[in-house]
Each structure stands twice: as C-alpha cells, then as structure tokens.
Chains A and B, each alone.
Chain A
Amino acid sequence: MNDLNTNMIEKYRNSFLNEVEANVEEGEWVKMCMQCGVCSGSCPLGNAWEHPPQELFMMIRAGKREEVLSSDSMWMCTSCYNCIVRCPREVPITHIMHGLAHYARRLGMEPKEQPTAKFAQLFWDNLMKKGRVNELKLGIDLYFKVGEGMKTALKNKDIGIAMWKAKRMNPMEFFGGHAVKDLNGFQKAIKKAEELEAARLDKHKA
C-alpha cells in the first residue's frame, strides 16, 4: 500500500465521504445524491458497471473505501453526460466518476490491467510529448503496445484510410509529428502544475 494511501486512511478515519469531498474532483456533491437511481438507469453502458454511480455514492457514504477505490466501475464512464442531464439534484456525476478514478489511480488502488486506465496513461504520455495528441501514434500504441492487436487494427483500417483521404490523419505524423506552437512553454506549465500538486500531496504525507 502506498504511502499516500496510508496517510489518507489515517487522516479521514472517520469519514470516507469527507475524504472524497476533499480530494475528488466535484466530490463535494456526493452528499447531495438522494438515491433515486436515474443516473444508473440512464447510463448507456450501465450493464458494464458493477456498481453504478448512485451505488458508488452510497458506498462512499457507508465508508466502503477499499471497495470503491479498487472498483473498475467508474472507469466505465464514457463522458456521455446523460447522468448529469437527468440527475434531479444536479450532481456532476460524470466529473465525479473521473475524479474517483483519478484519485484511485493516484493512490495506486485502480484495478490491475484496467484498459481505460491504460489508455488514459497512453493518451497522457502521447500528449506530453508534443503538447497535442498524435492520433496516429496513439492508435499504433493502442493496437500494438497495449495488446488490442492486429485484428482490431485491421477492423478499423477503412476508417483510417478514409481519415487519411479526408486529410484528417497524416501518415507523415508517424515521423515525429508536429507540436504545439510553444512546446517549451507548455512543458514548463505542466511541470509547474506537477510541482504544485506534489506540494499539496506532501502536506498529506506530513
């Protein structure tokens, strides 16, 4: 168990809800859920969720920290925003799902071999290189590095060719690819943000 996780358990011993409020994006809204279940029912990928959002909220309130943070449910969210639109209490469910996933990842508690988590990491790494996403490389990484494999790649071949023809994707991008205008500035900004975040987390460790 990582150090940050231990510290967080210690700090919020009494209330996982408080922990979520303080550390999860839009976590302050979790308390406003009234357990109607419309978010869970409205989710187009609902079948794939072991614990739908409303249940996750109840689990948070019931202090089921381990179960929530190690769950793969919130990783299922595709940001369609159906739940937010329907929520009678205006809870930003989509954001909380991502927030929870992010928090779990930071504590090192996300499920192993979680494809969404992996993709997210690929996306991030890809983005960091040039300050923009290199879609060709992202695709290649996804299909060949993560193990989605050749079959999936071939299935999507027509789309790729169509995008190429429509000039939506350039094969030349394979060689380096272009960057944002001020790549140096971008990287500096990211570095600064990382420092700030680290400082914030250090406080928890102290």
Chain B
Amino acid sequence: MSDEIKYSGYLCTGCGIGDRLDASQIEMIATREGKMSACKSHEMLCSKEGVEMIRNGIDNDGVTHVMIAACSRRAKVEAFNFNDVAMTRANLREGVIWVRPDDDEQQETTQEMADDYIRMACAELRSSKQPAPSGEQTLNKNILVVGGGVTGMTAAIEAAKAGYTVHIVEKSGALGGWASKWYKRIPFKAAAAGTSNSRTADLPQPIETGVDEMIAAVEADGNITVHLNSIVSKTSGAPGRFSADISTESGSTTTENFGSIVQASGFTLFDPSELSAYNYANSADIITNAEMEELAKAADGGPIKRPSDGKEVQSVAFVQNVAQSSDKKGELPYHSGIGDLIAIKQAIYCNDLNPGCSTTIMFDNLRTPGAAGEDFYRAGQQAMITFTKGIVSEVVAGDSPTVKFKDLILDDDAEMACDLVVLDVGMVPNSGPDPYAGIEDLETGKAGGESEVVGDAIEEAAKAAPEVSVDSILNLGYRQGTDLPQLKWGFTDSHFICFPYETRRTGIYAAGPVRRPMDIKQAQDDATGAALKAIQALEHAGSNNAVHPRVGDLSFPTFRKEGCTQCKRCSVECPFGAIDEDDKGFPMYNESRCRRCGTCMGACPVRVISFENYSVETVGQQIKNVEIPAEFDENPRILVLACENDAYPALDQAAISGEEVSPWARVIPVRCLGSVSISWVTDAMSNGYDGVIMMGCQRGEDYQCHFVRGSAMAAERMAKVGDTLEQLGLESERVVVHEVAITDIVRAPALIKEMEETIDKIGPSPFKF
C-alpha cells in the first residue's frame, strides 16, 4: 500500500443543491483553493451509483482523503460510511440551501456560504489523517467483580455464561452478602394469567431467596474464581489491561489482569441508633427491617419470638420511611423504594409463622410499584395486614413498645402497643471516596469566572485523596482519585437517564445498590446489564475502539512532547480521569480509558494535543480558510462552534423545519465544547470574524453534556477570554457561550441572529483587512 496522499472531492447536486448553487464554482473552489485532485459531481451522491463512484475513487484511483459536499453529516450516514479513508463533509443542504430563502436577492450570500463550507471541508481534510488503531490495544476476556453479594454473583454468573472468565473479590468470609441473611425475598412476578380479583386469588407470596443456589452455581463454575476475605488493594491500567492486586486479610497479595471491572460493593443499612424518637437503642423489641429478617430466619419455620423475652410475637407494627425522604441532617434525603414491599413481606411472615398475629404497616405513601408490586400489595391485604396511612411521632420503649402516630385517614392521634416494632430504615451505598468531593462547585457549574478555581480544585482534591484508603473499593492508581466519582448522596450512578451505564471511569461499571437502592430482582437485572457493558468495554479495548458515546471512533489523543510544558491541565481536566502523569509530569494517555471528547485538547494552553482527524489544526484551518469580506462590505462573519451532540442537530432540525439561519454564520461542529481551544477564538478574531458563538450542552447540576464536564470546562475557560479581547481592543460581546439543547430548533438560529444584531450595534471587527 502506498503512502501517497490523494485528496478528492465529491459534490452532490441533488436535493436542490444543483439548482440553488453554482456547481461549477464549487468544483473550482474545491480543486483550486481546496486543493482537491478532482471534484466529481453526482445528481444523487447517496444513491448506489453515487456511492460506487466514491468507492471506485478509493479502490481504484488511490483516493485516501474524501471530501463530500452534500447534506449534513447526520444524514445518509449509512451511505457515506467509508472507514478506510479520512473523510470530511461540507453541509450544503441543511447548512446552506435549506436555511436560506430561495430568491435572487439572497443568491450571492447563499453561494458565499456554500463556497466557504467547501473551503472549510477541504482545509479540514488536508489537516486530517485516517484514524488507525494505535497498536496498544489488548484483548483480555477476564472480568473483575468487586463484591460477592447477589449483584456480584449475578454479574459473574451471567458473564461466565457468555464465555468470559471472572474473578469475584469479596471482603467478607462468605459469598451471599445481605441476601444470605434474609428469610425470603420479595416476589418478582405478578399474578399468573387468568387470576381473578377475588379475595382468595392466588397472588404472589414471599419466595426463597435462592442465594444458596447462586453460591453453589458460582462455586461450580469453572470460569469463576472467588477470593474471600479479600480486597482490591491496587488497580492500575486501563480497559483491556487492568492490573489488580487482590490482598487477603492475612496479608498475601496476588496480581491478576483484567479487561474490565464491575463494582458491586452493595450497601450498608442506615443505623437508627441516633434517632431519639424511635428508641431503637433503648429496646430490644424495636428492631430494623434487616433484624426482622434475621428473626424470621432464626425462627426456622416456627413462630417468630421477640428478642427481649422470647415471647411469641402476637402484634407487630411496621413503621415505614424511618429517617428517609428527610431533609434533616444525618438522615437520608432519598428513599429505599422497597421498604413497603419489605414490610408487606415481613408482615406475611408473621401471618404465616405466628397464627393470629396482628400486623399494622404505618406508611405515608405506599410504594408498591409495577405489576408485581401492586399484586404483592393485594397479597398483603389478603393476609389481613392493616395498612394505616399515618405519621409516627414516637416509638416508646417498654414491655410492649408503643407507637404514637397520627392516623391521617381518621384524622386521629392514636397509639398502639405491640410486641415488636420494625423500623423501615434505608440503604446507604458502599462507595469509595469520591474523587471530586469538596469541589461541588464544579459539578453544579457554579464556580463562576474565578479563573483557575476549577482546575486547581480538582488538583487539590486529587492530592487530598489518600493513596490507599481503607474505605476505597478499587484503589485506582488514577491521577484523579481512587474510586468512581459519585453522583448524588454517595451513589455511583450515572447521571444519564438514557444511558444508565455511563460511568465516568471507562470500563468500570457500578451495579446494584451502590448505584441506587434496589431489591434482589432489580439488582440482578442491573448486574446483568453491567456484565454486558463490561464485556463490551473489554471487546472495544481489544480493538482500540471508543466506547459510548463515540462508539466506533478509532481516533485517540496524542501529544507533541517537545512542546509540552507539563502544566497538567489535560490530566486534571479530563472528565474521565483517563490521563495520568509520568515521573516528569508529562501526560500519559490511556487510550482505552479515553472517550475521545477532546477536553484535553481544549485544555492545552500550548496546543500540543491532537487526534488524527480532530485537532487544533483541523478546526483552526477551517476558521482560517473562510473568506472574510472587507470591512466596507458590510458582510460580517460569525463563527459558530456547535457541539455535535445537541447544538448541531438542533441547527439541522432548524433546517428541516424551514427556519432561517443568518447567511453570515459559519458553523463548525465540535466533539464537545470542552474540546474548543481558546486559540480558535483568538484566531477567528484576529482573522477578522466579527463574532464567535459557542453552543454547548446544559451544564450544572442537571447537566446534559455527554462528556460530563466538557461544557462546564469550556464556559470556565471562555470566562477568561474577555481579558484577551480587551487587550486586543475588542468588545467582549463578540464572543459568547450559550447552552443549547437539541430541542432549540428556533432558538439556535435566533442566537445567531442576536449576534448579527450585536455586530450591527458595535460595528465590524477592526481586524478586517
């Protein structure tokens, strides 16, 4: 294969492009200015023939770089899918003709727009290389599962069933976790088809936990290795080449290599000892829901006896939502979500094991969701449980603990003495230390313009994080802390509704109650999903492929060492903690940890970081190749750097919906606003653009940025641009950053219009020639 580079342009004249634009002029610009060896037209480039024409160029004419001038890069993706060449697309349809009125008066500026997009696509192409695997990739089909409870065991069993090997590391001396203490579990099936609604209908009842069978299955599985009384004392590497030290209590350590990791570290039960109103600490007969399970299990099919004196229990009150859904300090702001199902289950135990026992569940909102949940509520009603909507004010200790409550239905203050009171306490996730604890400002995006705050704060936090913490679950040897970042209230969940397995440490997936309070069924479902993602991550690492959301991207960042000043911006600002530092402080890119967002590139003050097909150069050259009209021309130029995930699709949809976009705009999609180099903005300004608009995703608490912090980072950095502009004698209004959602179909073009008006007001850039 020859290394010769050949650029070739392909112009589609369909969809009105040929009617509205001067194709021969475009061809001329592509070849003369854009330096394409040729620019071939086709009246429908996405047709079989059109695609064959391009294919033929690649296969037979030695074309290595393809410029396609047609519709948006979001359209006809399947047709223009040439993985073996470098490719750029000039958006003449959604970017030009569909957003401009079809009349003679506008013809000139419309053509100018198209010409510029051709120049830009050609310039981008000339700076691009076809991405290729680095050669660093390794395929390792071994998965580390941390935690040997139901979640961990499920992940292991399911991954093993798909043909992968698994190591389970369990801190305690046995597999099974909490569930091995349970008497029975909440049923997960709804009533069978044909079941009537009669009061004697056959409804789901508490069922065996199945934990013993799971343990047996794990132990019998040749693909699963179990390490009991062990912790992960050190994890280093990246997907495909994780190395974990597994240390036993006795002090011995073995090192294993893994392709990916599932963290199933489970939960701790909330301790109600400090809650004075419930007197948990003052009576043996006021117990938690977990202790109730142990009582039921200890009863071994006989009657449940109360702890204080062994009396067979004849009346039980279940006090729901204890110190949950609370805004009091030291209590849980969330809810376990399953507490009412647990109470129903346990009341049914009482009904079964202690005939004649009366059971009352005092709830605020009875949370028994779904088909299985609502049927289990019915089963509880059948079992004669008294459901009382009420607020418990106090549980008084004594021979018979007494619950004082307000009955909300009867609007009555009441009290009830019983043999046993069961407190529904919540689940607290077992997460390690949060790498970003203490820098919440960053997560909420409230850091403001205080220059270095963000980066320094991360750095401080990274420093503050202990090297090996007793609390750490993973002991990652990462630049940015030892464990998975947390979302809220200690849960290591994903922020994304549509992508629940998005973690901020590539190849490491949290599963089970460490993510969100869960019962056995949910934890098993979650573990199965996490196992799939772990499999996927290691397979992708094996082919050097990016994982979500840039799946299939083979490009990865490299840096020019001679130019690097070891400032550590990149390693500190990477949203995924992908970049470590070597002894001398140079960045070490772990490409399989990388999500290819380019935030490092945007962070680098000396512009030494680049991807093969996305770099300071590929965008910078697009900016520079736009033809800037002279000052007296009254044709301003507005550079729009639009996030490819939301803002760019919004502009596309604006085109589809018939919205107009200013003819002065030149839109460049960026991988993430976090990848925007300040140099692009200063280049644009010094080249005579009149304004720059950056469109990124929503930042802050409910951030929409697919790269977590990219958009927030960009806003931080751009807050500083004002000074630079002032030094150049430019008005700060010329550079703006907007949060643009994918639904901003009308607003996104309006924001460009707004800039146009601003320029009208403050006049053209003095940097024009």
Contacts and interface: CB of A to CB of B under 8 A. Distances in A.
A62 interface: yes
Contacts of A64: 410
A23 to B, nearest CB: 15
Contacts of A54: 409
How extensive is the interface on chain A, given as a class? 20 to 34
B381 A55 contact: no
Interface stretch (B264-272, B384-392, B494-502, B584-592): B384-392
A158 B639 CA distance: 91
A28 B199 contact: yes
Interface string B202-246: 000000000000000000000000000000000000000000000
Given A15-B358, A35-B387, A58 B381 contact: no
A59 B358 CA distance: 16
B382 A55 contact: no
B347 to A, nearest CB: 12
B197 interface: yes
Interface residues of B, number: 23
A81 interface: no
A37 B655 CA distance: 52
B387 A62 contact: no
A33 B207 CA distance: 25
Interface in B312-337: 314-315
Interface string B361-391: 0000010000000000110011011111100
Contacts of A29: 199
A32 B199 contact: yes
Contacts of B314: 14
Interface in A1-31: 14-15, 17-18, 21, 28-29, 31
Contact of B389 (A17, A18, A31, A35): A35
B384 A17 contact: yes
Contacts of A61: 386-388
A14 B354 CA distance: 14
A14 B407 CA distance: 19
Interface in A41-68: 54-55, 58-59, 61-62, 64
Contacts of B470: none
A128 interface: no
B174 interface: no
A35 B409 contact: yes
Q: Which of A59, A62, A89 has the most chain B CB within a 10 Å cutoff?
A: A62
Nearest to A15: B358
B199 A34 contact: no
A145 to B, nearest CB: 39
A90 B197 contact: yes
A21 B382 CA distance: 12
B384 A31 contact: yes
SS of A interface (majority): helix
B762 interface: no
B197 A17 contact: no
B391 to A, nearest CB: 15
A89 B197 contact: yes
A182 B521 CA distance: 65
Contacts of A55: 409-410
A36 B197 CA distance: 17
A14 B389 contact: no
A58 B199 contact: no
B414 interface: yes
A165 to B, nearest CB: 48
A86 B237 CA distance: 63
A28 B198 CA distance: 11
B692 to A, nearest CB: 58
Interface string A121-162: 000000000000000000000000000000000000000000
Nearest to A57: B409
A31 B315 contact: no
A47 B356 CA distance: 37
Given A55-B409, A58-B410, A61-B388, A31 B382 contact: yes
Q: Which of B197, B384, B388 has the most chain A CB within a 10 Å cutoff?
A: B384
Given A32-B199, A34-B381, A59 B386 contact: no
Contacts of B407: 58, 62
Contacts of B414: 62
Given A34-B377, A58-B409, A17 B382 contact: no
Contacts of A33: 381
A177 B384 CA distance: 50
Nearest to A33: B381
Contacts of A17: 384, 386
B409 A32 contact: no
B662 to A, nearest CB: 56
A200 B87 CA distance: 92
Contacts of A59: 410
A184 to B, nearest CB: 39
A34 B373 CA distance: 14
B387 A14 contact: no
A15 B409 CA distance: 19
A89 B196 CA distance: 11
Given A28-B199, A34-B377, A59-B410, A14 B358 contact: yes
B404 to A, nearest CB: 14
A122 B664 CA distance: 94
A32 to B, nearest CB: 5
Contacts of A90: 197-198
Contacts of B387: 34-35, 61
A126 to B, nearest CB: 35
Contact of B410 (A18, A31, A32, A62): A62
A31 B385 CA distance: 7
Contacts of A62: 386, 388, 407, 410, 412, 414
A31 to B, nearest CB: 5
B700 to A, nearest CB: 39
Nearest to A59: B410
Contacts of B409: 35, 54-55, 58
A90 B199 CA distance: 9
A15 B386 CA distance: 10
A125 B315 CA distance: 45
A31 B199 CA distance: 9
Contact of A32 (B356, B358, B378): B378
A58 to B, nearest CB: 5
Nearest to B197: A90
A55 B199 CA distance: 20
B197 to A, nearest CB: 5
A62 B384 CA distance: 12
Given A62-B407, A62-B414, A32 B382 contact: yes
Contacts of A18: 384
A21 B315 CA distance: 18
Nearest to B315: A14
6 cross-chain pairs, A with B, having the tightest CB-CB distances, nearest first? A61-B386, A58-B409, A90-B197, A32-B381, A31-B381, A31-B384
Interface of B: 197-199, 314-315, 356, 358, 366, 377-378, 381-382, 384-389, 407, 409-410, 412, 414
12 contacts: A14-B314, A17-B386, A29-B199, A31-B385, A31-B386, A35-B389, A58-B407, A59-B410, A61-B387, A62-B386, A62-B407, A62-B410
Given A32-B382, A61-B388, 14 more contacts: A14-B314, A14-B358, A17-B384, A31-B381, A34-B366, A34-B381, A35-B389, A58-B388, A58-B407, A58-B409, A62-B386, A89-B197, A90-B197, A90-B198
